[in-house]
């Protein structure tokens, strides 16, 4: 319980007042890799999906991209922050995207009708992973897929050094351009280094009976995508 409140506090401290600049920061401060990572997520979504849930959807970057890529599918974005949801809904209206809706709430708590796929980007390190993945197992149809993406700290010394230097640059230059992101630029590196989201996610997926679990390191170890499938038939006892 205490750890959960601590992570919620981190989310509030990191993201309060950042909605209007989120989209630009996501692109610029990842050197454009955010777009490439989200394309990898979309490519992993089963082609026949009719119901997709995007958890911690933020301003709707991934949610709306999924809705465009799957026009015959119903896509639901879930987000904890009203500030971000208002932006996501406005973008959907402006773009005339009708196959998407948004719900306010914690990803660990919100449930929807059976899904073919559940996606998330940058959620795992902030989430209570046991309840999150148990909830996903209940919502997914047999054969449904979960796709989770988040930052990781590079393991190779050279890439880790570059990673640290880049955050130093964001702390000095980025903080001047986007002062509302100073807390993130200064605290996020340590938060990522200390996060055990990847190993905890893999363990929780196994504990909840998922199969075909894969973990793919991206961009010299700066991010990872995890995918897993709910079995077509329950495991026999």
In a domain, 234, yes or no: no
State residue 6's pLDDT score.
82
CB neighbours of 83 closer than 8 A, spacing ≥ 6?
Answer: 16, 17, 19
Q: Residue 236: inside a domain, yes or no?
A: no
Asked whether residue 235 is assigned to any structural domain, the reply reads no
Q: Which residues of the chain have pLDDT under 70?
A: 1-5, 235-237
Closest by Cα among 7, 21, 12 to 179: 21
Report if residue 237 sits inside a domain: no
The answer to whether 196 and 204 have CB atoms below 8 angstroms apart is no
> 116-147, pLDDT tens digit by residue?
999 999 999 999 999 999 999 999 999 999 99
174/18 Cα distance (integer angstroms): 13
Four-point Cα dihedral 47, 35, 196, 46, nearest 10: 0
Contacting residues for 141 by C-beta, under 8 A, at least 6 apart: 114, 115, 116, 230
Residue 209 structural domain: 2-229
Domain annotation covers residue 99:
yes
The structure tokens 């990847």 sit at 198
The tally of domains found in the chain comes to 1
Flag whether 51 is in a domain. yes
Element (H, E) at 226: strand 223-229
Q: What is the pLDDT of residue 235?
A: 66
For residue 149, what pLDDT is reported?
Answer: 98
In angstroms, the CA 221 to CA 237 distance is 38
């Amino acid at each position: 319980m205490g750890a959960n409140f601590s992570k919620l506090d981190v989310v509030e401290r990191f993201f309060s007042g950042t909605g209007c600049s989120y989209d630009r920061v996501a692109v610029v401060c990842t050197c454009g890799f955010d777009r490439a990572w989200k394309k990898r997520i979309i490519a992993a979504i089963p082609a026949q999906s009719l119901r997709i849930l995007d958890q911690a959807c933020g301003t709707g970057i991934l949610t709306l991209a999924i809705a465009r890529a799957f026009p015959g599918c119903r896509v639901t974005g879930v987000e904890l922050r009203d500030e971000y949801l208002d932006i996501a809904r406005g973008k959907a209206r402006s773009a005339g995207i009708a196959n998407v809706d948004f719900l306010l709430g914690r990803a660990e708590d919100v449930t929807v009708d059976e899904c073919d796929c559940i996606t998330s980007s940058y959620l795992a390190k902030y989430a209570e992973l046991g309840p999150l993945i148990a909830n996903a197992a209940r919502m997914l149809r047999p054969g449904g897929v979960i796709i989770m993406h988040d930052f990781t700290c590079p393991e190779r010394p050279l890439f880790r050094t570059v990673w640290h230097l880049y955050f130093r640059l964001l702390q000095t230059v980025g903080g001047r351009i986007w002062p509302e992101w100073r807390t993130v630029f200064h605290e996020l590196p340590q938060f990522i280094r200390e996060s055990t989201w990847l190993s905890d996610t893999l363990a929780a997926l196994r504990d909840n009976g998922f199969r075909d679990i894969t973990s793919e390191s991206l961009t010299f170890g700066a991010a990872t995508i995890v995918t897993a499938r709910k079995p077509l038939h329950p495991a026999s006892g």
